[in-house]
Structure 1
Amino acid sequence: MKLLITIDTEEDNWNRYSPTVNPVCNIKGIERLQKIFDKFSVKPTYLITYPVANTTDSINILKPIMEKGNCEIGAHCHPWNTPPLNDLEPVNKTDTMICNLPENMIYKKIALLHQTIKKNFGIAPTSFRTGRYGFSKEVAQTLVKLKYKVDSSITPYTNWNHKHGPDFSNKTPHFFWYGSNGKKIYRIGKLLEVPVSVGFLQSNFDLRNRFLKFAEQDIFKRIHLVGLLDYLNIVSKAWLSPEIESLDTMIKLSKQLRKNKFNCLNLTFHSSSLVEGLSPFTTTRKDVERLLEKISDFISFERRNGIESQTLSEFADEKQKSTR
């Protein structure tokens, strides 16, 4: 098992979909975060949006880290601020999911982000995550055309239909491959999918997911059946993210992922949480301190248990070799 740390490295605007006004002040928080990673010899994957890739200040922070070999720079496409743009505000919420755009527009936006990173960082990115987890077959086909190695957009056991997005409620944390047609295959393919680590604090993930889907039906919302099952320790879904989970919960989830023989721990969070007041997870300076402490303590725990770190593309390269 490997530890992957994948950071949505993006503009300051949280839940504000502006085509043109996208400051990136939060990127200054990465300098402090990277010191934690360097302490443990961990290499994160910074998945960067167009405003980050196209702003001198953020380039000057991220590029030296990459050039030292201490991180990977990947792509993270926010369709509302990645050209070509319509410059209209407010942005249609449906269109914030790139999977809802025409296929040619999906390609144009991801290709433009790809070329911007290539121009300003001197590398062709090979790892990717969609903004708001808006993944689709058409996105996978675009990534194959652009020679990406790995995507990390799927959030297992989670349905985004209520936000105009895809339904991943039947997906598990196992990695798998896409073919050139963007469809899932079970042998080695063109593009590796490494889902975010979302799972359960109890064993037998398939059974817990069936319970969860039953409890999430509209007829049970009034009695808060999902919360009741969590309280009774029957079904407790958790994300491997320091933004929304306690250290204890993250450790419990990582143990269950190992017990269920999943292939990696994919820890994820947003760069905007590194500066107080820029995300709902860190509204104060103390919140930021707690977040950084959680990240450090979790990495320390996994390193003590012999878990090695890899970037997304390193993990993909390893799987490509081992499945030949």
Structure 2
Amino acid sequence: MPAPLAGERAEWSAEFGRRFTVFVDTEEEFDWRAPLSRGNRQVTAMRAIPAAHARFAEWAVPLTYMADHPAVAEPAGADILRGVLADGRSAIGAQLHAWVTPPFAETLTPANSFAGNLPEGLEAAKLDALTSAITEATGAAPIAFRAGRYGLGRNSLRLLAERGYRLDSSVRAYYDYGGEGGPDFRSIGNAAFWRDGILELPFTTLFTGRARVGGTRLFDQLGRVPRGRGIAARLGLLSRVSLTPEDMPLSDVLEAIAVADGEGLRMLNFAFHSPSLAPGHTPYVRDAGDLRLFWRWWDEVLAALDRRSIRPASLHDVLAAATPSVGGGPGTHLTEA
């Protein structure tokens, strides 16, 4: 995916200040070590959402629930989402897991798990099925989107804009999924930008350590050396840190927040998966001890953000505050292949 042009960059209104948002990938449960299966549709971990929602509410943090097809196809899941959306600040979004979203016309392969690799007509049909299911289940049409496995393709943003979506958060800044058949985001940083009529809000990733100015280039070079990235991280030279409690240590994330604050980054985008709210469904929260650490991570991170006057933002806050750059804006530049 090409880096944003100068005219595509989004600007934030002066009164917006410095903000953060939290997206919850609200999805089915599956074995993360096993091949993907269309039969994985259980959403029992969603029962933990109301209590988790209340904990975030204590910090006045609204959540955006990026729901996939199983999460809203099950009546219990739909009931839970309607309940938490009643706070008036949280929002519903869509997350397209192609392998569990009808129509099932594609062969189930790793490459086809990235929805953007599918033929345009099939990607559109799955997006329509997901959008309709969410709207029917929650009474609200989703306007934010995330592709499962961050699987954007050359048609994805245009298809979203045609269906009334306004924001996408499928880009994971500085990550490359090309080895698995997915997109390459190494040239894209954390700044929000407009493309194909959609506001792209990347999942925030920071480089930390004494050699962090080396960024993606140095990180790629270390990847060619056996255990190079791990050694660099342990020596405090370079780490790549995403803003998530899943596989990102608390100390690393607190340092990343400090780096973002020092660099004047106006918008931080956090995320986690809903099955991590209950033990045993993700590799990040395997037992009750891991769940305690998960919540300690959030308590410490939210306290650090508060000390730095980085305030929470709802989805609608974000959309209201993002404006086009001078000479740019929605639809100005088309996504290249």
TM-score above 0.5: yes
Which of 240, 246, 250 is the aligned partner of 1:247? Answer: 250
- Cα offset, 1:300, TM superposition: 2.3
Which of 277, 281, 285 is the aligned partner of 2:280? Answer: 277
Task: State the distance in 2 between where 1:205 and 1:315 align.
Answer: 28
Which of 183, 200, 203 is the aligned partner of 1:196? Answer: 203
- Cα offset, 1:206, TM superposition: 5.6
Give the 5 Å matches for 1:173-188. Answer: 173-179=190-196
Give the 5 Å matches for 1:1-324. Answer: 1-15=18-32, 16-86=35-105, 91-179=108-196, 190-202=197-209, 207-217=214-224, 220-221=225-226, 224-320=227-323
- Shift of the 172–205 alpha-carbon distance from structure 1 to 2, 3 Å rule, reads farther
Number of residues paired by the alignment? Answer: 308
Which blocks of at least 5 consecutive residues in structure 1 are unaligned?
180-189
- Shift of the 163–312 alpha-carbon distance from structure 1 to 2, 3 Å rule, reads farther
Q: Write the deviation string for residues 45-65 of structure 1: whole angstroms up to 9, x where unpaired.
A: 110000001111111111121
Letter of the aligned partner of 2:205 in structure 1?
V
Letter of the aligned partner of 1:24 in structure 2?
V
SS at match of 2:21: strand
Letter of the aligned partner of 1:214 in structure 2?
Q
- Cα offset, 1:205, TM superposition: 5.5
Task: State the distance in 2 between where 1:29 and 1:70 align.
Answer: 19
- Shift of the 206–79 alpha-carbon distance from structure 1 to 2, 3 Å rule, reads farther
- Cα offset, 1:316, TM superposition: 2.1
Letter of the aligned partner of 1:191 in structure 2?
I
SS at match of 2:100: coil
- Cα offset, 1:207, TM superposition: 2.6
- Cα offset, 1:68, TM superposition: 2.4
Task: State the distance in 2 between where 1:107 and 1:87 align.
Answer: 13
- Shift of the 87–234 alpha-carbon distance from structure 1 to 2, 3 Å rule, reads closer
SS at match of 2:184: coil
* TM-score (normalised: structure 2): 0.86
- Cα offset, 1:40, TM superposition: 0.9
SS at match of 1:137: coil
Whether the aligned pair in 2 keeps the contact of 1:33 and 1:292 (CA below 8 Å) is: no
- Cα offset, 1:100, TM superposition: 1.0
Task: State the distance in 2 between where 1:152 and 1:48 align.
Answer: 13
- Cα offset, 1:165, TM superposition: 0.7
- Shift of the 235–87 alpha-carbon distance from structure 1 to 2, 3 Å rule, reads closer
Task: State the distance in 1 between where 2:39 and 2:106 align.
Answer: 7
SS at match of 1:80: helix
* TM-score (normalised: structure 1): 0.89
Q: Write the deviation string for residues 142-176 of structure 1: whole angstroms up to 9, x where unpaired.
A: 11111111111111111111221111111111111
Higher relative contact order (CA 8 A, sep 6+): 2
RMSD: 1.9
Task: State the distance in 2 between where 1:248 and 1:107 align.
Answer: 41
